Amino acid sequence: MKLVKNIQSTAKKVLQEEAEAIQKIIDKIDSDFESCVNHLLNSRGRFVITGIGKSAIIAQKIVATLNSTGTPALFMHAADAIHGDLGMIQDGDTVMCISKSGDTPEIKVLVPLIKRTGVKLIAMVSNPQSYLGKNADFILHALAEREADLLNLAPTTSTTVALALGDALAVCLLECRGFSSTDFAKYHPGGALGKKLYLKVSDIYPNHELPIVQYNTSIKDAIVEISSKRLGATAVVNADGTLAGIITDGDVRRMLNKYEVLTGLEAKDIMTANPKTIEPDAYATEALQVMQEKNITSLVVLENQKPIGFVHLHDLLKEGLV
Span 56-69, pLDDT tens digits: 999 999 999 998 88
Please tell me the distance from the alpha carbon of residue 222 to that of residue 267, in angstroms, as a whole number.
7
Of 265, 276, 322, 267, the closest CA to residue 300 belongs to: 276
pLDDT (tens digit, 9 = 90+) per residue, 286-316? 999 999 999 999 999 999 999 999 999 998 8
Tell me the per-residue pLDDT of 157-201, one tens digit each, with 9 for 90 and over.
999 999 999 999 999 999 998 877 666 666 655 555 566 667 899
Which strands form 47-51's sheet, in the order they lie side by side?
A: 73-77, 47-51, 94-99, 120-125, 138-141
Res 310: pLDDT: 96
Specify the amino acid at residue 171: V
Tell me, what's the pLDDT at 192?
54
User: DSSP code of 26?
Assistant: G
Which of 136, 144, 163 is CA-nearest to residue 64? 163
Q: Which CATH architecture has domain 201-318?
A: Roll (3.10)
- CATH, range 7-179: 3.40.50.10490
Q: pLDDT band for 153, please (50, 70, 90 cuts).
A: confident
Cα–Cα distance measured from residue 127 to residue 264, given in angstroms and rounded to the nearest whole number:
87
Domain extent listing, the chain = 7-179, 201-318
